[in-house]
Structures are given as C-alpha cells and as structure tokens.
Amino acid sequence: MNFLSLYVLIPLLMLGALWACRNTRQIRGVMAAGSSALLILSIALVFLYIAGRRAGNTDSMLFTADTVWYAPLNIHYSTGVDGISVAMLLLSSVIVFTGTFASWKMSYQTKEYFLWYSLLSMGVFGFFISTDLFAMFMFYEIALIPMYLLIGIWGSGRKEYSAMKLTLMLMGGSAFLLSGILGIYFGSGATTMNILEIAGLHNIPFDQQCIWFPVTFIGFGVLGALFPFHTWSPDGHASAPTAVSMLHAGVLMKLGGYGCFRIAMYLMPEAAGQLSWIFLILTGISVIYGAFSACVQTDLKYINAYSSVSHCGLVLFALLMMNATAATGAVLQMLSHGLMTALFFALIGMIYGRTHTRDIRELGGLMKIMPFLSVCYVIAGLANLGLPGLSGFVAEMTIFTGSFQHADPFHRTLTIIAAASIVITAVYILRLVGKILYGDPVNPQHLKLTDATWEERLSVICLITAVAGLGLAPWWISRMIGESVLPVISQMIP
Amino acid sequence: MDYSQFLHIRSEISLIAVIMSLLLFDLLAGARMRKYFQPLACLLMLLQIGINLTPGRSAYLFGGMYVHTPMMTAVKNILTVGTLITFLQANTWLKREDTVFKQGEFYVLTLSTLLGMYFMISAGNFMLFFIGLETASVPMACLVAFDKYRHHSAEAGAKYILTAMFSSGLLLYGLSLIYGSTGTLYFEDLPDKITGSPLQIMAFAFFFAGMAFKISLVPFHLWTADVYQGAPTQVTGYLSVVSKGSAVFALMTVLIKVFAPMISQWQHTIYWIVIATITIANLFALRQQNLKRFLAFSSISQAGYLMLGVIGGSAAGMTALVYYVLVYMAANLAAFGVISIIEQKSGKIETADYNGLYRTNPRLAFILTLALFSLAGIPPFAGFFSKFFIFMAAFQSGFHVLVFIALINTVISLYYYLLIVKAMYINPNETPIAPFKSDGYTLISLVLCTGGIVAIGIVSAIYQSIHALGYGL
Amino acid sequence: MKFTIFILLLPAFSFLLLALAGKRMKPAVAGGIGTAVSGIVTVLSCMTAFLYFGAPRLQDGTHAVLIPYNATWLPFTETLHIDMGILLDPISVMMLIVISTVSLMVHIYSFGYMKGEKGFQRYYAFLSLFTMSMLGLVVATNIFQMYAFWELVGVSSYLLIGFYYTRPAAIAASKKAFIVTRFADLGFLIGILVYGYYAGTYSFRPDMVALMSGGVAMLPLALGLMFVGGAGKSAMFPLHIWLPDAMEGPTPVSALIHAATMVVAGVYLVARMFPLYIGFAPGVLEAIGWTGAFTSLFAAVIACVQTDIKRVLAFSTISQIGFMITSLGVCTSLDPQQGGLGYMASMFHLFTHAMFKALLFLGAGSIIHAVHSNEMSKMGGLHKYMPVTHIVFLIACLSIAGIPVFSGFFSKDEILTACFGYSPLMGWFMTGVAAITAFYMFRLYFQIFWGRNPRYDHTPHESPATMTFPLVFLAAATCMAGFIPFGDFISSNGTAYHIHIDKITAAASIAAALMAIGLAALKYARTGPILPCGDDLPDSARGLFPALHKAASHRFYIDEIYQFITHKIIFACISRPIAWIDRHIVDGFFNALGWTALITGEEIRPMQSGHIQQYAIWFLGGALAITVLLLLI
Amino acid sequence: MNIPMEYYLAVSTIMMFAGIYGFLTRRNLLAMLISVELMLNSVDINFAVFNRFLFPGELEGFFFTVFAIGVSAAETAIAIAILINIYRNMRNIQVENINELNG
C-alpha cells in the first residue's frame, strides 16, 4: 500500500465521518473537506507523476504497490497509475468535488445521500488505481450499486423504473465482464491477476482470446454505452439527481472505456485486432445514432444522455482504431466528455431545480432570467460541439487524426461517418440553446427565478475552468497520455 | 478396541452432552429458572464451538465408519455457529405464550438435527450417513410443525414429513441397489466397485434425488417454499442455512469419495440441475409477495450456486463451497433475523408491508439491505467474494457456459432483491411498520451477522484458513 | 518580428477581460478597452507590414516567409501535430492590415451605433473574440491551426449574429449560419485529414517524400474537400444560404464579419493552398473557378430583386466573393505573367472589397440607424438628410461598380483580365456579372437617396461623429486603395509584378457598368409622388421575366430545399425514426426481456400447486429424468 | 426348496412401485403414509435379499435393514403426530385440504 490507497481511504473516512454526523452542517463540512482532499490529492498526483516521468522512470506504471490479499487465488490488492489513470483520477476528483457542491442543498435524507455518494466515489477511485483484475472488478461493482439507491430515492420522473433498468443492465454487463475476467485469468495460466503481469506473460491462446475479448468488451461496453446496450443511459440519466448524473455520465461511463482499453484490449491484443471490426461498426452506429436521437428529444437530460451515447461511442470507436494517436484521443475524449457532460448535467440540474421542468417546450428565454447559468450552458454546448479552445476539440481532433491513420476503406468510411457526428452535434446543441436560452421567457412564472448561488457557481466555474484548461493547454496531458498508451498499443501492433 | 478413537468424535459427544443437559434442565428446572433457558443454551453452544475449535487431525475411526478431517470439523463449526445465531434470534418467538412452555423442545430438537448433520458429514459408511440424514430430518419435521396451533405450521409439517419420507424411500432404494451391485456400504471400498453400470446409474439417480431434496434443487424443491412459509421463521432460517449447508457438503463428500468413477455422469447431472435450479427458482422468486416464501426461492437459487462449488469436485470447489456456506449463513440469517423480529413485533410478512420501513426502523432496514446485497453478490459485502470464488472454482473446472448462465441469473436475482430494498427505501406508505425496540439477543445475532457480512469478504484470513484445511475428505 | 504575438494576445486578453467583467464594467469603459486594443492591433499590423515589406527581398525576388513563433500545441504522431504560431508572408500581412483596419473602424463605429443597447459589453467582448480568431486564422502556420481558428470565427460569428437573442429571426439565422458552415467544415476537416495522411504533415508545405509515396493522387481530393470548407465560409453556391440571413446581426457586425473579413476566409484558404492547387490539382482549381463564376452570377441576379438593403449587400458580397474565387480559379500557373495573374487580382479585390463593402455596410447601418428600417420601400430622398453618408455611399457604389479612379475598378479590372486570359467565355461572363453588379448597386443607391420620398415618422438625421468618422476613413481608403502597387507586394510566385491596366477590358467593363448605372437611374431615380410607407415599388423587371423575378425574389428556392432536407428528411425521416427505434425496439427488446421473465415467473406458479402428490410426481419424474439422461450419454 | 433371488426382488420391486403409486394416488394422508411404509419396507427386503444371496458372508445388509426399520418407525411416529395435529386443526386428513400453501 502506498499513498494511492488514500483514494480509497479518504472516501472510507468520509463514510465513517458521515455516519457520525448529527446535522446538515457537519455533513456538508465532511463532504467539502473530503472532496477537496481528493481533489488536492489528484492535483498532487499529477505533479508527482510528471516529476516521476521527468526523472526518467519508464515503467509502464508508477507508484506501484502490492499487498497479497487472497494468496491461494492470486488475488492481490495492487495499485499503480499511468498517465491514463492519472487523468481519470483527476477527472473523477474534479467531478466528485463539483458534484458535492452541486448537491449542496440536498435536503431529503442528506446523510444517506452522501453516504452512498461517497461509496460510489470510492468505487470509482478504487477502480482507477487498481491493477488487479479482481480488485478492479470489485471496485467496479461497488461503484454500480449505490447508483440504484441514489436514483431510486433521490431521482425524479420514472425513477424506480430507470434505476432498476440501469442497475440490471449494468449488472448484466458485469456478468459478461466477470466471465471475461475469469477467462483471462485461466487463459493466462491462472498464475496472476495482476494486469501488468498478465500482459507481460502475453500467453492467452488466440482461440480463447476470441471468446473472452468480445465478452469482456461487451461487459465494459455496456457501461460505455455501446450500441445496442446503451438504453439504460437515457432513462438513467434523466431520472438521476444532479450530482449522480454528473458522476455517472462524467466518471462511471468512463470506467467502461478505461476497462475496454486496460483489460480487454491490453490483455487480448490479438483478438482485439481480429474482432475490432464488429465493435467498430457498433460504435460507429453509437456515434451517429446517439447524435441523431438527440436531435428530436424534448427532455434536456435525454438530449444530453443521447449526446453522451454519441460521445462515449466515440471513445470506444477510437480505442478500437488501435493506434497510439487514436487511443490518446479516446482518453482525452473520456476526460473531455466527462468534464463537459458533468457541466451539462450540473446546469440542467440547476435549471430544473428552479423551473421544475426539463421539457424544452416549456422553457425559453432563460438567458434573461438566469444569465450566469445560461452563459455557462452555452459554454458547455460549445465544448460539446467541439469548439477550439475547449476540451472537445482537442479530443475529437486527436481521435479523427488517429483514426485516419488507417488507409483501408473500411476504417476511412467509419471515420468519416463518425466525423459527421460533429455536424449533428451542432444541430442539436444549437437547437437546444436557441430554444431554452434565447428568445423571450415563455412562462411568466419563471421571471421570478434567481440566478446561481455561490456553491453552484463554484461547482460550475470549477468545471468550466477544467474544460477550458484542457482545451487551451492540451499538450502536457496529451503527452502524458500518449506515453502511457504506448505499452498497450505496442502489444497490439506485432 | 482403541478407546482413544472416541477422542476424535468429541464434537458429537459434547453435542450429545449439550442435548442431554438441556433435556435435564427442561425436566428439572423450576418455573423461575426457565427464563435462563436461552442464556444457558447459548452458553452451551459457545462451549460446543470451543470444543469444535480444538485442533484435531484426520482420522478413520471405527473401521472406517466415521471419518474425521479438519475440514469437516470446520463445516460442523460453521453449522454450530449458525445454530447459535438461530437460538439468539429465537428469543422473542419463544417468549410467546404458546411456545414459552416448550422452548426446551425447540433447543433439543434443533440440536438433534445438528447432531444428525454432524454424523452425516463425518460418515464413512452409507449406514451412518443414512442415520445421520434421518436424524437431521425427522426432528426437523417436528420443528416445522412446532407452532402446533397454527394451521400453516401443521400443514407445512405434514408436507415436510411426507415428502421427506418419500424421498428417503427413494434414496434408500438407490442405496439398496448400490449395495446389491457392490456388496459394501463403506465409502473406502465403494469407488473400486462403482463401474457406472445401468443399475448403478439408477441407484445414483435415486440417491442424488434424495440429496437434492434436502438441498432443494429443482425439480426436487417443490416442498421448500410451502414448508418455509408455514414453518416458524426461526426454523425456516435454520432450515435454509444449516440444513442445506450440511447436505451440500455431505453430498459433495459422497460424490467425490464414492462416485468418483462416475464423475462425468454426476457432473452432467449437476450441470443441468444447476441451470434448472437457478433459473426456475429465480423466476419463481420474481413474483413472490410473502417474504418467507420469497426467501425460500432465493435460497433455492442459492443452492444452485452452491452446487457450482460441487460440480468441479476440486479442492478449490470445496473451499469455495464451505466459504460460500459461511457467507450465505451470515447473510441469510441476518435477513431471517430481521424478518422474524418484524413478524413477531408486528405480524407483517408481506413485501408490501415493508414499504417505508427505512423511515421507521432504519437500522433493521439497513441490516436487511446489507443482507440482501450480500445475497445478491454486491461488493464489498462477503456475498460478492463467495460468489466470485465459487464461479472461479466452476470456471476452473471448465464449466464456462454454466458459469455464464449463473452470472446472467444473478441479474434476475438482483432484481428481486432490489425489489425489497426498493420497498424499504423508496415506496411510499401511509401506515409503515411502527418503530419498535428489538430484544438484546436478536440484536447480538444481527450484529454478529452484519459483522460477518462485512468482514468475511474483506478479511482474507477466513478464506485462507478454510483453504489451509485442504481437500478434507 | 517578435512583437506580432501581441496582435493575437491583446484581443484575446481584451475578450477575457470584457467577458469576465461583464456588466460590472461600464459600457463606455468596455467599449474603450475594446477599441483601444483594436487600435493597438492596427498600429502593430501596420508596423508589421511596414517592416515586412520594407525588408529586402530574397535573391529570387520574393519576400521571406517569417515564422516568429511556432510551438507544438497538440501532438498527434511524430509528424502530425497541431502547432500554434505566427506565419508572416505577403498575404497574411495584407490580411492583418485588412482585418485590423476594418475591425478598428467597426469598433469606433459601434460606439455610436450600439449606444444604449443592452449587452454593449458583451458586444465588444465578442468583437474582440472575433478579431482575435480572425487574426489567428490568417497567421496560421499550418492547416490545422487555421481550422481551429476557422471554427472560432464561426462561433464568434454565431454569437454576433445571435446578438439580439430575443429575436426569433436572429436565433434562427445564427443557428443556420453555424450549422451550414459547420457542415462545410466537415469537408474541410476530412480534407485536412486526407492531406495530413498523404502529405505527412499539417504544415502548408507537404513532405514531398511522403507525398510521392502514393499520395499525389489523393491530393486533389484533399484540396477539393478543403474548398468545400472554404465554400461554406465564403458562401459559395449552394452553401451560401446562411449569409443573407446572417444580416440579422447588428449592422457593424455584418460589415466586419459578413462582408470584409470572415467570409473571405475561403478565398484566403484557396490562396494559402494555392501552390498545391496549381501543382497537384489544376482540375479542382478550374472547378473552383466555375463555382465562383456561377455563384457570382446567381447572387447578382438575386441581389437585383431584394428589397432589404442589407440583403442586397449580402448578395452583393456573395457575388463579389464569387469574383475573387473565380479569379483564383482561372489561374493556370504560378507565374503572374503567364496565367497566374488571377492570384494577385483576387487578393487585390479582397483588399479593396473589404474597404468598400465595409463602407457600404457601415453606410447602410447609418441609414438604418436613421430610418429604423431595413426596407428600401421605407427610404428615399435621403441625400437631403444624410449628406456625409450619401457621399461615402456613392463612393462605395462607384467603386463596386468598377468606375475608374475608385479602387474597385482596379481590382476588378485585373480579375477580368485574368478571366479573359483563361477563356473569353469566362471573361465576357464575368463582365456581364460586373454590369449586373453596377445595376443592383445603383438600384439600391437611387432608391435610398433619391427616388420617392416616403413620409418619415421622425426626420432622419445624420449619424454622430463616431459613426461618420469610420465612414469617411473607409471612403478615403476606397478612393486610394486602387493606387497601391499591389502587385509589388503580392503575386502568385512572390516576385514583384507591375500592374498595368488592360485597356480593352477596362473599356468594355466601364461601358457595361455605365450602361447598367444608366438603366438603374432610369428605373429608380425618378422623383415620383410621395406614397405612403410600405407600398411595394413598381418593379418593371417583374413584367419582363415574371418567372425569373419570382424565382429570384425567392432566392431560387434554395432555402426551401434546405428546409425540406433538414426538416422533412433529416428530422422526420432519420432522427425521429431513430429515436423511435431506440425507445421501442432497442429499449423495447431489453424491456421485453424483463417482461418475459416476469410473465414466465407468473405463469409457472401453478407448478407450485401446494399438492404433495404433485410434488412427488415431479420428484419421481426428476429422478427418472436423471436416470434417462445418464443412460443416454 | 430354493426360491431364487429374482422372486424376492420382484416382490420388493412390486412393493416399491405399489408404494409409489399409492403415495401418488391416495387421498387420505394416512393411506399415503402407509404407502410410504411400503416403499421403505421394499428397501428393507432388498437389503436383506442382497445380503443373503449375493454377499452371504457379511451382515451389512441385515444391519442396514434393522436400522432402516427403526428409522422408518421413528418417521412414522412423527408423521402420525403431525397428522393428528392436522386433524385437530382441520377436522379431516384429506390430502386435498392441505394445499393452502402454494404459489
């Protein structure tokens, strides 16, 4: 165990402290302190990591530590980070931090809400720091189940249905995933569960890979909104409370992409090469299909959820292109999509909290009523459609450039189709912005509403800063990720 | 004769001593002393656990009639802990007017079944095995029919005893065929003579059916739900955990020891039975309103998962199986503990009655949630680990598709477990169950179970100590 | 040349400052900061031009290409990366002058025009953003940097068109502008990707080694796709539809973005890639030329029948950009003496057009400011009320009509010469379009300043000095720009080229223009009886070609076609079905799985009948089934 | 006279299946109990016969029979106790009446 375990310990401490809390003020104090601590830890980690690389450390993972857990089954609690996980940890802590402030005013069963919230974040962090198949899977599932209660209790709309559907579909995915993990473990000779060691062994027979790769990929793909397993996402996001949507779309869906890359593709590169075309078609469909679906939705959250389907499809799409540039783009896209979709959901939550409707037909002229939120919404929209200077551009361009390095017509066509999504994205984003922000207020009741409060501003500004920071100065993070995808990519290119 | 052999059966002897002392206490204690019945029983159980924990070594006793291995002692100990927890939970129920005068019978009958299980597990001969099995099941019928003024209890008792007799008739018939084709009933000698002839196949099928009845595998499970529903809740808990666990372990030892030459046959059988059990039980559980009935189907599907540990016939499978039984015991007894205390205090047992429970009785609701999550296999609770390990064991033996089907079924099971969670946390209710205080014994049992649910998985020492016991045949 | 970085940084800084301060800053302060920054940028640009062109030429007679800054911004692969930097060559320096000057004028002008508007600070913030992006676009050192700023100008255009965000027309127009150009940019992006792959770099000079290994055949495709992006920004047919609608923005914005600077980005793009077009894709270049020619005619015809003065100007812009594009397209070699003249002519026209078209728009703004309407029918006889505006507007009209002395004559003459050099057909065609240009411009001029004199609600009056100063400045520029020895600075191969007027071409075009002006005067200059406001003008063209007139006033139904494609096909036939399929088939499948389980669970409950004997039958059946199973295997 | 083993086995098999048949068809719980007893007794016969004819030197089968008889007696005792209880609760012991627990 090393300092990376703080990522699990801090949420654990938060759980304990929340348990002891007596009133809302204490709860808020604990959450603010805990999430800030996580954010500071992540920022420190970024610096430590970069310093470690500067110092010439060329291991594929830094800060590795290993504690034997279940010796007979080769299950260890082993941790380590590379550029990708550092980026994901940063993303997660930013979103946990902002999500805390976005749900600052939570009044119904506050303590329970934050308990589950902290448990969820523990799962997320644990997943990203782990390098052991079992531990990863465990943290993955820890992150899934609080979702049921968070949506079911604190959600809105058809919350029970959505929560159940989301949980069951994701658990269905994890059924695939578990099979895949077992397949990998036994396929590689059942000597270790450590990803790095399995990758080092590189001994899973090809015919077994051809079974376990699709299984694992679908397992993670369900969470990564792979067509046609994405249908939990619109309902789930629509019903979830603000911070949960943020965390779910912002971080949890990234678990899917990260897992596909780190487990499915890293450990079974030959099968990935052989079978990528199937999933490329599916993800290609996701990209376009999500974007088109978003065009005609009338619920703000549904629009964003379909947009997430499209963008997360792009993540998997890029990963399957299997070259360093596209993979870097995929990670950047995870980062970028995580931040901007969290921003979106935060804003939608804040608007919904005031107007009590998310139907775009009942909204209008919000720019006049709540200028701060509206401007931020426009910024989020622009980030979503890939405006240079914001994060979306960086990620998408890296993906398209990377994808275009394949010269065959199949990959080319798919790349062009995927690139077409940026136009459709523009269509639905502008439709939305034009409809709800511009124009005159449609509902006179809305004129009384107020603009954002300080904690909402804090949360939103924090996210915008991250989106713009990534968009304006992408080189360092792109390099950091680019170095880290190489070990994985080099496995795939014989 | 070497009398030191009796030292190796000290578990059974001490258990008999416990039974005898409780009988005597029941007989002799005055009215004022009777209120100490429960503490006494629990203390004696603790003593029994202590005796079980004394280190021993593997031994073949009494000419191979009785086998003793550390693994078996561990299993017995797990069952004993389960019994202790059941005793703790029985407090409120046994204080009831119609049961208070016969609480001695409850302890003695329960311990008699436990004794039967001890023998069944340690049997080295089909005769001892059969006697253990019957000792375990005959008093169980009395326990099921314990609430004799309650119509449902009597009906459940009748169903249990009649189907049990029917199944033991068939099991015995199978045993007689085995005896006829081999000429011996000693486990040691049997494998050499088992050839897989049609007669032996038929014998195996009948024997297996009889055991499957105890474990309640589909299609031999039909009594389960009715009996679980009708029996007093404590007995149901005991039946679903201790009785089932012992039967699975005993079946595994017999399959490995006796039917080793027929391994492909019984793997085939279990393969289909597991699929049928998990799927059908899950489908049934989906629509249950009565919580005891619901838990009955849940326990049937859990039995299917238990069989995943058996199917490989490997050391990993056995370790995973014992571990699974332990974890399952903690979770299921926690669930039954909550349900029984609520039933005793409010008389409500339907899912709909649990709506809004979290508002009135948050602690109980929380414990039940943990228990259900553990049963569903959600980390970080122990159920996740036990499920993972048992899947791993089955997977290792090459049953990939079976594991996958079982995994898909966990999704269905998650659905119905979540229905209960949903009822407690989400569903609105005008008249939720009123807040109440639980008695101290129940609280202790629930704390024990909750501790188990949380700790058994994360603390790897427990699994490793079971693993260290080895194959344990 | 290190100071050039401030040309980009200052507007960026000003944008951030104004955007973050928002309403906390007084409008005057915000405007002051924006204008001051713009002024500094203009000074810096002029300094850059002075230093750049003042520096001695290289031995081959060209100006050195300077790259004072270049740093990798986003690495992709070893060879492919987006750099951010500053590239100075003749055309980028020229563009710096154009953009900063017009921008400064618009900044000053807006003080008067936007006075008292809500969101004054926001307006200046957006102007700064636009200025920064446009400057970044022209100094881009590589095609991807260009694309990035290209997108940014698109967004600032979107924001400025939608400045009056409560007006539905403005919202729709901004959306349309963004989406249409975005669609075109998709072509640009794919073009860039193709280019990057085969040329092995995103810089403007392809890696010849990489290119020769199989990429030459793909380069025309890449360049053609890039032109699609250019066509979108520069409103070439059929992607022109957004530009007329974009006039919903404030008029100074139209002057800056939709007349002088952003819309010529497509021209600039082709000019930037010109060596590649000539070297590898002459066929594409020809197609570009014809596209430009057709667009210029098409837009000119529509301009003749529009009644909104800004729309007339918008179509006139499209038509003039068509001239520039044509001029580039007719080039056949890099040598300005032999078929490369069009390059210089195009840039020259870009320069002069920026001045006079900005002038026209600002003048129109001044008129609208006075009359409070865009409709020509509500104007007339304004020469009495607005003398300054009248004079400068006339200058601009003469310039665009190609009357000598004014700058438009010189540049247009070069274009026509280049067209004649390409083919007589193209030459006469463009001369005809030039004549139509003169006609509709003077139709506009006469209807506004002469003609009938409608009853005004309040007497129009001349605009304040903040507005007239830019007008006068630009008018002066329009008068003098033609005498700049443009060819000395810019030519297709970089060497000095001395402009000489081709007398026959000039005579023909002047004659045609004069005839057209005469016709317009005949038709529209009559001082008739004063009619009540709102009456449609009698338009004799309608009598001559009723079908053509109707089609032209409906802009040849292109908008309707787009409307049909977007709403009827994309929304109704793709998006809605997909959304339906998602909810009912894909999602329905998973729901059906759940329902099947639930229904099966309900249906099999009779199996659990409660009858012991039935249980026993199952039991026996199970045992027998196992026996049979085991016996069979 | 030596009766061959098959004769005994035939009897025991017939008893077994008669017991099963009775269990499945009788409507009275007591009759069902008797049928089960038939099944158990057929097993006893089996054990004794196998021991006597196939493995004459040993006593395992006989012992098993003895124990089985004891066990079945215990079972019957319990069963009858429960049936009496049923009778007390429902006033009859028809098998159709004990199906309240179902589904």
Can you list the domains of chain D with their CATH numbers? 5-97 (1.10.287.3510)
Q: Give the count of domains, chain A.
A: 1
Whether C536 shows a pLDDT value over 50: the answer reads no
Q: How confident is the model at residue C545 (pLDDT cuts 50, 70, 90)?
A: low
Whether the CB of A69 is below 8 Å from some CB of chain B: the reply is yes
Whether the CB of A142 is below 8 Å from some CB of chain B: the reply is yes
Whether the CB of B280 is below 8 Å from some CB of chain C: the reply is yes
Whether D64 shows a pLDDT value over 80: the answer reads yes
Check residues A133 and C215 and name the one with the higher pLDDT.
A133
Whether the CB of D68 is below 8 Å from some CB of chain B: the reply is yes
Indicate the pairing of strand B59-61 with strand B66-68. antiparallel
From chain B, the residues in CB contact with A167 under 8 A are 414, 418
Whether the CB of A70 is below 8 Å from some CB of chain B: the reply is yes
List the single residue in C with minimal CA-CA distance to B229: C610
Helix, strand, coil percent values for chain D (each to nearest 5): 80, 0, 20
Whether the CB of C73 is below 8 Å from some CB of chain A: the reply is yes
Give the pair of three-digit tokens for residue A492: 């795939």
CA distance A247 to chain C (A): 23
From chain D, the residues in CB contact with B166 under 8 A are 23, 36, 39
Ramachandran class of A439: left when φ > 0, alpha when ψ lies in -120 to 50, beta otherwise: left
Report the predicted TM-score, pTM, of the whole model to 2 decimal places.
Answer: 0.91
% of chain A residues with pLDDT over 70:
99
% of chain A residues with pLDDT over 90:
36
Whether C535 shows a pLDDT value over 90: the answer reads no
Q: What's the rounded mean pLDDT across residues C199-220?
A: 82
Average confidence score pLDDT of chain B: 90
Q: How confident is the model at residue A144 (pLDDT cuts 50, 70, 90)?
A: confident
From chain D, the residues in CB contact with B131 under 8 A are 67, 71
Q: How confident is the model at residue B1 (pLDDT cuts 50, 70, 90)?
A: low
Whether the CB of B147 is below 8 Å from some CB of chain D: the reply is no
C2-35: per-residue pLDDT in tens? 888 888 899 999 999 988 888 888 888 888 888 9
Of B441-450, C306-315, C530-539, the one with minimum mean pLDDT is: C530-539
Cα distance between residue B459 and residue D41, in whole Å: 51
Look at C615 and B225 and tell me if their CB atoms are within 8 Å.
no
B/C interface, count of CB pairs below 8 Å: 87
Cα distance between residue A195 and residue C181, in whole Å: 46
From chain D, the residues in CB contact with B225 under 8 A are 101, 103
Q: What is the pLDDT of residue D66?
A: 93
Whether C554 shows a pLDDT value over 80: the answer reads no
C125-177: per-residue pLDDT in tens? 888 999 999 999 999 999 999 999 999 999 988 988 888 888 888 888 888 88
Number of H helices and number of E strands within chain C? 27, 2
From chain D, the residues in CB contact with C610 under 8 A are 98-103
Q: What is the pLDDT of residue C538?
A: 44
Kindly tell me the sign of the dihedral angle through the C-alpha atoms of B414, B420, B425, B430. positive
> H-helix or E-strand containing A420?
helix A409-432
Whether the CB of D20 is below 8 Å from some CB of chain C: the reply is yes
Q: What is the pLDDT of residue C539?
A: 52
List the single residue in A with minimal CA-CA distance to B384: A138
Phi, psi of A159 (to 5 degrees): -65, -40
CA angle B274-B276-B279, nearest 5°? Answer: 100
Length of chain B in residues, anyone?
A: 473
- What 3-state DSSP class applies to B66? strand
Ramachandran class of C556: left when φ > 0, alpha when ψ lies in -120 to 50, beta otherwise: left
Q: Closest by alpha carbon to C201, among C82, C65, C70, C284?
A: C82
A/B interface, count of CB pairs below 8 Å: 78
8 A C-beta contact, residue C447 and residue C531: no
Q: What's the rounded mean pLDDT across residues B220-248?
A: 92
Give the pair of three-digit tokens for residue C222: 């890449």
Whether the CB of B166 is below 8 Å from some CB of chain D: the reply is yes
Q: What is the pLDDT of residue B249?
A: 93
Put simply, the chain C residues between 565 and 624 with a CB less than 8 A from any chain B CB are: 594, 597-598, 600-602, 604-605, 607-608, 610, 612, 614-616, 618-624
List the single residue in D with minimal CA-CA distance to C617: D24
Whether the CB of A43 is below 8 Å from some CB of chain B: the reply is no
% of chain C residues with pLDDT over 90:
8
- What 3-state DSSP class applies to C8? helix
Is residue B357 situated within a structural domain? yes
Whether A11 shows a pLDDT value over 90: the answer reads yes
Whether A233 shows a pLDDT value over 80: the answer reads yes
Q: How confident is the model at residue C409 (pLDDT cuts 50, 70, 90)?
A: confident
Q: What is the pLDDT of residue C461?
A: 79
CA distance D55 to chain B (A): 6
Whether the CB of A160 is below 8 Å from some CB of chain B: the reply is yes
Cα distance between residue C323 and residue C346, in whole Å: 8
Q: What's the rounded mean pLDDT across residues C382-404?
A: 84
Q: How confident is the model at residue C530 (pLDDT cuts 50, 70, 90)?
A: very low
Whether A156 shows a pLDDT value over 90: the answer reads no
List the single residue in D with minimal CA-CA distance to B168: D40
Look at B138 and D101 and tell me if their CB atoms are within 8 Å.
no
Q: Give the count of domains, chain B.
A: 1
Q: How confident is the model at residue C620 (pLDDT cuts 50, 70, 90)?
A: very high
Whether C205 shows a pLDDT value over 90: the answer reads no
Give the pair of three-digit tokens for residue A456: 């909402």
Q: How confident is the model at residue C601 (pLDDT cuts 50, 70, 90)?
A: confident
% of chain C residues with pLDDT over 70:
96
Of C608, C616, C620, nearest to D103 by CB-CB distance is: C608
Look at A175 and B426 and tell me if their CB atoms are within 8 Å.
no
Average confidence score pLDDT of chain A: 89
Q: What is the pLDDT of residue C400?
A: 87
- What 3-state DSSP class applies to C494? coil
From chain B, the residues in CB contact with D54 under 8 A are 180, 183
From chain D, the residues in CB contact with C616 under 8 A are 20, 23-24
C456-505: per-residue pLDDT in tens? 777 777 788 888 888 888 888 888 888 888 878 888 877 888 877 778 88
CA distance B262 to chain D (A): 23
Whether the CB of B392 is below 8 Å from some CB of chain A: the reply is yes
Q: How confident is the model at residue C425 (pLDDT cuts 50, 70, 90)?
A: confident
Of A318-322, B365-369, C336-340, D48-52, the one with minimum mean pLDDT is: C336-340
Whether the CB of A387 is below 8 Å from some CB of chain C: the reply is yes
From chain A, the residues in CB contact with C196 under 8 A are 401, 404
Q: What is the dihedral of CA B184, B185, B189, B194, to 10 degrees?
A: 80
D contact chains, 3+ CB pairs < 8 A: B, C
C contact chains, 3+ CB pairs < 8 A: A, B, D
Q: Domain range holding B178?
A: 3-468
Q: How confident is the model at residue A328 (pLDDT cuts 50, 70, 90)?
A: very high
Is residue B473 situated within a structural domain? no
Whether B90 shows a pLDDT value over 50: the answer reads yes
Q: For chains A and D, tell me whether 3 or more CB atom pairs sit within 8 A of each other.
A: no
Cis amide linkage into residue B380, ω under 30° from 0: yes
Q: What is the pLDDT of residue C422?
A: 85
From chain A, the residues in CB contact with B460 under 8 A are 69-71, 75
Between the alpha carbon of residue B28 and those of residues B34, B104, B108, the distances in Å are: 10, 11, 15
Cα distance between residue D54 and residue D59, in whole Å: 11
B279-320: per-residue pLDDT in tens? 999 999 988 889 999 999 999 999 999 999 999 888 889 999
Q: What is the pLDDT of residue B5?
A: 81
Q: What is the pLDDT of residue C531?
A: 42
Look at C186 and A293 and tell me if their CB atoms are within 8 Å.
no
Q: Domain range holding A94?
A: 3-492
Q: What is the pLDDT of residue D1?
A: 62
Is residue B312 situated within a structural domain? yes
Burial of A19 (C-beta count, 10 Å sphere; 0-12/13-18/19+) = exposed
Whether A366 shows a pLDDT value over 60: the answer reads yes
C285-313: per-residue pLDDT in tens? 889 989 999 999 888 888 888 888 888 88
Q: Suggest the residue from A412, A438, A465, A477 to mutate for an interface test with chain C (most C CBs closer than 10 A).
A: A438
Whether the CB of A167 is below 8 Å from some CB of chain B: the reply is yes
Average confidence score pLDDT of chain C: 84
Whether the CB of A423 is below 8 Å from some CB of chain C: the reply is yes
Whether C318 shows a pLDDT value over 80: the answer reads yes
B94-122: per-residue pLDDT in tens? 888 888 888 888 999 999 999 999 999 99
Give the count of alpha carbons within 13 A of C270, CB side only: 41
Check residues A92 and C483 and name the one with the higher pLDDT.
A92
Q: How confident is the model at residue C544 (pLDDT cuts 50, 70, 90)?
A: low
From chain B, the residues in CB contact with A72 under 8 A are 316, 319, 463-464, 467
Cα distance between residue B302 and residue C615, in whole Å: 21
Cα distance between residue A46 and residue A477, in whole Å: 10
Look at D85 and B176 and tell me if their CB atoms are within 8 Å.
no
Look at A164 and B396 and tell me if their CB atoms are within 8 Å.
no
Q: Which parts of A156-280 are beta strand (E)?
A: none
Whether C532 shows a pLDDT value over 60: the answer reads no
